[in-house]
Amino acid sequence: MPDAPTSPIARQQSVRLVVERLLRDRAVSRAELARSTGLSKQTISEVMRDLERDGWVREDGQIQGSVGRSAVTYALRPDAAFVLGVDLGGTKLHVALADLQGEIVAESIEPTTGDGGAAVVAQIGRMQEALLLQASVPVQRLRGGVMGSPGIIDPASGSIVIAPNIPGLDSLDVRAELRERLGIEVAIENDVNLAAIGEHWRGNSRKARSFAFIAVGTGIGMGIFSDGYLVRGARGAAGEIAYLPLGGDPYDTRGLRLGTLETAVGSVGIVERYLALGGISGSTVRDVFDRLDSDEAARIAIDEVSRILASAILAVHSVLDSEIIIMGGSIGARPELKLRVDEYLGRCMRQPVRIERSALGNRATLIGAVGSAIDLVHRSLFGIGRGAGPLALPAVAADVAA
């Protein structure tokens, strides 16, 4: 075995190897750490002593050895640090405080303030303070956060380039304002991308390395994983499928603001389609779905929307070759819609791609934010994580191989 490292770089590498193993196996003895990492027993002892002293590791139990001896096992302390997950929407703000295993210890939902970007930052700050107090967590143990936001996020700076639903947010250095208000680093990611991360961590695509998460609600968006990595594109706009030339004329200038596909299958488009077929005035999207068994206009409207979505999925799958496609959002996760989309895919694909509804529902973005924040803390403290731009797939959810 090599001698104990003396340089800071060597010690950092040793800590990284040990923490990676603890993340993967949760509880392990010092002897097992030495065997699996290739580090000397002396180095393991020194690393574990430092991690215990700083509150990152605790004794977790004992295992019986082959010759009758027992050995103490160690695990990372989930309460050694906490993270903040934020799901910022045009009408709803959802904030959660979680430990390093992703266990949410406190959360809160409020209507998003309509007073602009600076007021939103102040609102998040107030909610953070209330959650820390509620969970009795000292502010010093809050080590990082991730916020999901609508719009396009610049992959280099993390700034919000376009935020159509929250006035003034795209003219503000949101990351700097959050750092100043919360006292921690907060990364910003597109909300649908975070929903894809959440599904990959704790949803229906955990075993898939290449998949797409399609969210359909007021609008439509997509998060893409390819070979285990989140795809953002050159300007952070990968997955902005609202502008696919489906469901209408892409040269119609009315589609320039929201996109041709979104205009056809978003909530407003569904209601307009229903009313054009003679539906009941004043109806909502929920009304249209509730009337599927009794209203011919509702049945035709949802069938037409399903056909358009199937065409979009066919186009997406032809480019990405996804193992699975997850449907989410208030409309996309409806079982009635999935049933019809599956029927149309069977008519336009020789081997239809597997479609699954989101397992996390309206919590997908929040769960993705929590998992990504944990990954950021692991990377900042221990150099662990598989980079995919500003955020990586949560190491607590997947392998953490270097």
Question: What structural domains does the chain harbor?
Answer: 8-76 (1.10.10.10), 80-196+363-393 (3.30.420.40), 205-358 (3.30.420.40)
Answer whether residue 62 shows pLDDT above 80: no
Sheet with 186-190: strands ordered across: 104-111, 92-99, 82-88, 142-149, 186-190
pTM, two decimals, is 0.87
3-state DSSP assignment of residue 59: strand
Position 257 scores a pLDDT of 81
pLDDT at 171: 78
Residue 173 has pLDDT above 90, yes or no: no
Residue 367 has pLDDT above 70, yes or no: yes
Q: What is the distance between the alpha carbons of residues 317 and 326, in angstroms, rounded to a whole number?
A: 12
Beta carbons of 149 and 188 less than 8 angstroms apart: yes
Mean pLDDT of 318-323: 95
Q: What is the mean pLDDT of the segment spanning 290-303? A: 98
Q: What is the pLDDT of residue 6?
A: 58
The 8-class DSSP code of residue 47 comes to H
Higher pLDDT, 351 or 253: 351
In the predicted model, is pLDDT for residue 163 greater than 80? no
**Alpha-carbon dihedral angle through residues 300, 303, 304, 306, given to the nearest 10 degrees:** 160
The whole-number average pLDDT for the span 123-130 is 97
Flag whether pLDDT at 304 surpasses 70. yes
Express as a percent the part of the chain with pLDDT over 70.
90
Confidence grade of residue 65 (pLDDT, cut at 50, 70, 90)? low
Band (pLDDT 50/70/90 cuts) for residue 2 is: very low
Supply the pLDDT for residue 114: 87
